Structure 1
């Protein structure tokens, strides 16, 4: 029993704070099929570094090729075979690099074609080609650019600026008004004169009698 225990490899694990432990392990599970394959391949390589043999068979290579081709009858699911995971990850990496290379080549092709059209002899096509060439990000001739200047101020400066702004707003709302007779005052005067006239008439009648 002691001899068997001596053959077991021991690995020292030192925890760190670079990768926080998720509160819910399901939140960290890869949802994208490509990400799942990369996680499986990384796990397989880690197991190989720890001493687990990694022997890829022809059947596993063929299975990885079928998954990469995306046959409709194949359901990707989770990849548990180490050989399939490593092979499929390698195929995906090559495919990603090929997409990037194709995009760069296509960009060069379009640029070269626009350069050819810019001297084709037709004024309309030449102007259009020159316009498209000028809009290329590397050229940036007809691209509108906006510059944003950010001024950092202290809290005291901001407080002072706010107070000055409030003062200007308060003083801007003050309007000097000259008092004038309102319509109500004029109406009161007319009513008072109208009420005083009958009294004078009654006095005159009594004197006449």
Structure 2
């Protein structure tokens, strides 16, 4: 299959199948058309394991290598929608836990200034390959411990974390620009989505949906 065929997909990975997934997200409550358009633009099937390609447009998390997962499309859309609410743009964005690169690709549909860190080198190598297929070279990837954020590129208007933390890392708070927002799953059982906003009087925290993410771990491998 040539590159164009790979991106368009056939059968269960076709553009039509992708459109049906987006319609399901709309029915499930995703309202921001910017987010739905971004999800529709990214061929999720190239980010999943080949044996799972036929399930790429189901609204479910799927397994990756090294015990990691590609997030459920609804959760990706929900987190980004909350980060965008009342704002024109995500602005300068940092993703913690790049994984296979799928969420970074969706973010790149909404802002041109995307940084992403991943602690697992084999997973990061796959993310690079996937994003190269989409010509998304503007996403700056780094093999690093996400617990520390990316201080050399801070501050960020948006930080999104794709793993659950026991608490909110202070270093991530510190890397938010004034008016910036941090979205992070917090807790063990249950986990909830936590939105941190850096306002003129300090940090404001809001809690949303119950979720299930792999844990945010320190170090690199």
Q: TM-score scaled by structure 1?
A: 0.19
More helix by percentage: 1
Which has the larger share of strand? 2
State the TM-score, normalized to the length of structure 2.
Answer: 0.18
User: Comparing both chains, which one has the higher relative contact order based on Cα–Cα distances under 8 Å and sequence gaps of 6 or more?
Assistant: 2
Look at both structures and tell me which one has the larger radius of gyration over its CA atoms. Answer: 1
